[in-house]
Amino acid sequence: MSIQTLYTAATGLESLQTKLDVIADNLANVNTTSYKRTRANFEDLFYRQEVLPGLQDQQGQFNPTGTAIGLGSKVSSTQTDFSQGAFQQTSNPLDVAIEGNGFFQVADPNGGNNLYTRAGNFSINANGVLVLGSASTGRTLEPQITFPPDAIDPQVSNDGFVRYRQVGSVQLQDAGQLQLANFVNPEGLLKLGENLYSETASSGSATQNIPGQSGAGFLRSNFLEASNVEPVRELIDLITTQRSFELNSQAVQAGDQVLQLIANLRRN
């Protein structure tokens, strides 16, 4: 049925358009700190069962196969790839990368639940509190870490201890210890933008751990985690998706041509 061809091919066009949007988002964030690439998953739609498998013929034999006509595809989900991104060395001792599993926990300034991020570009605000570097919102790290006004030479160890020196002193002082939040299902986290995630029922509750313990990763000071997007891989995916989009559009054209031919039969 040529009309069904139009509708079936249209579902493919819609699904592939969504995948193109996902690829475009990945490429747009190729330089975003700690960005995790997204993958679009597809599933087939309902089938028109013309002959069911396992039916008996007149001789009592069961037919080995049936006749099912698929009605297209749709995007079943988009999954986040939390694989490790590359490390970029910086000259800022408050830049911290996570090597392994875990998220930094920051306070929601709107008074809601805590938010989570893998972006470790931290800064110190006017009150001496360690915050996530942002030009719009100063989100404090949880548990809160505070430096005195005369603190210099801040340092972050692999196990999360934050230390500093005071002016005129050579001894290091402890300001606190960074902790990492782990989730049973990090793919269930809700993406909020600004490198932030929020907890959902699918992700499970956050478990606070000391870096390097209970499955939490280690910290690397003077480093930032880069995006895990591979541009070459995304461009190849872009090309194959574009070609698949063109094939579905040709199926629409073929169905239209068949309908036009049928409409012209009577004229002839």
What pLDDT shows up at residue 135?
64
3-state secondary structure of 256: helix
User: Alpha-carbon distance 118 to 211, whole Å?
Assistant: 13
Q: Could you read off the pLDDT of 215-268 as tens digits, one per residue?
A: 899 999 999 999 999 999 999 999 999 999 999 999 999 888 888 888 787 665
Residue 228 CA to residue 210 CA, distance in Å, equals 24
Instruction: Tell me the average pLDDT of the chain.
Output: 90
User: Using one digit for the tens of pLDDT, what is the confidence trace for 160-182?
Assistant: 999 999 888 888 899 999 999 99
When computed from its CA atoms, the radius of gyration of the chain, rounded to whole angstroms, is: 27
Measured torsion, CA atoms of residues 17, 188, 185, 27, in degrees rounded to the nearest 10: 40
Predicted local distance difference test score (pLDDT) of residue 43 = 94
Task: Tell me the per-residue pLDDT of 67-107, one tens digit each, with 9 for 90 and over.
Answer: 888 889 999 999 999 999 999 999 899 999 999 999 999 99
Cis omega (within 30 of 0) on the bond before 109? no
pLDDT tens figures, 1-35: 568 888 999 999 999 999 999 999 999 999 999 99
Predicted pLDDT at 153? 92
**Domain range list for the chain:** 2-82+229-265, 87-225
As a whole number of angstroms, the distance between CA 42 and CA 19 comes to 9
Question: What's the pTM value of the predicted model, to 2 decimals?
Answer: 0.86
Phi-psi label, residue 202: left if phi above 0, alpha if psi -120 to 50, beta otherwise: alpha
Task: Give the integer Cα–Cα distance in Å for 109 and 202.
Answer: 24
Residue 39 has a pLDDT of 95
- Residue 54, judged by CB atoms within 10 A of its CB (0-12, 13-18, 19+), counts as exposed
